[in-house]
Structure 1
Amino acid sequence: MNRVDFYQLSRDPVELALPLLARATLKAGERMLVVSSDEAQLGRVGQGLWALPDTFLANGRAGQPHEDRQPILLSDRLEPANGARFLALADGVWRESEQPFVRTFLMFDDSTVAAARDVWRMLRAREGTERHFWKQEGGRWIEAG
């Protein structure tokens, strides 16, 4: 069984929303792979992980020394060199993996909402996949639908 959480970014950009998910992931004893094809976005996410108030979320880039030790690994590829079982798709682009992640966070905004809807429909028919949809309301995340 794997789980896909759809996060609709309507108020905060991914670099503010994703650190909260990363913190919860680490508290659960898991590691995270963050994937984006946008190098600048990965840089902003990395800065956001360091800047979360009252928390220090160590992270590193794929291809750099000690990538296997990083609790949060930032990459442009779907290769969890850190052994992550949790995946965050920061750029809103769905990617398939040979070995499914236990949990995937698909972060999407207005520019990728149509593609996210297509993924939602595609996963509806996939056995063993649980789907959840989250949206921002009043500064909090609430599960919708």
Structure 2
Amino acid sequence: MSESESQTFELSQIFSMIAVSCLWGITNPFISRGAKTSKSVQSNFSPFLKPFFELKNFIQNWRFSIPFIFNQLASILFMVLVVTLPLSMTVICVNSLTFVVTALTGAALGEAPLSKNTILGTFLVLIGVILITV
């Protein structure tokens, strides 16, 4: 392992990874809900005008567009993290924590109750992330 990959994360870097995970994890269930309410653009429009109608539908469906925008902002921050931090640890930590936050948010919204296996898996993921970052 190279010296840069064996270093521990600074507190600000850990908070940045948690921020991305929370933004992704919280917005995922809302994007899923918003996508169910979206309308498809009719195919009788010209190919040139269709993107404009898609954009209009995107803006009008705030249940999808607002969480999507926050999700994409988190993606930009994630790209910054990937460039500045060790790739192998950053991707594992952020994606693992995103799973945890998505499961908790989905349960809070009533999508799926937390099963014993989900709680155990969440606990094991958190232990793994702590071991990687410390």
Q: State the TM-score, normalizing by the size of structure 2.
A: 0.28
Give 1 or 2: higher helix fraction.
2
Give 1 or 2: higher strand fraction.
1
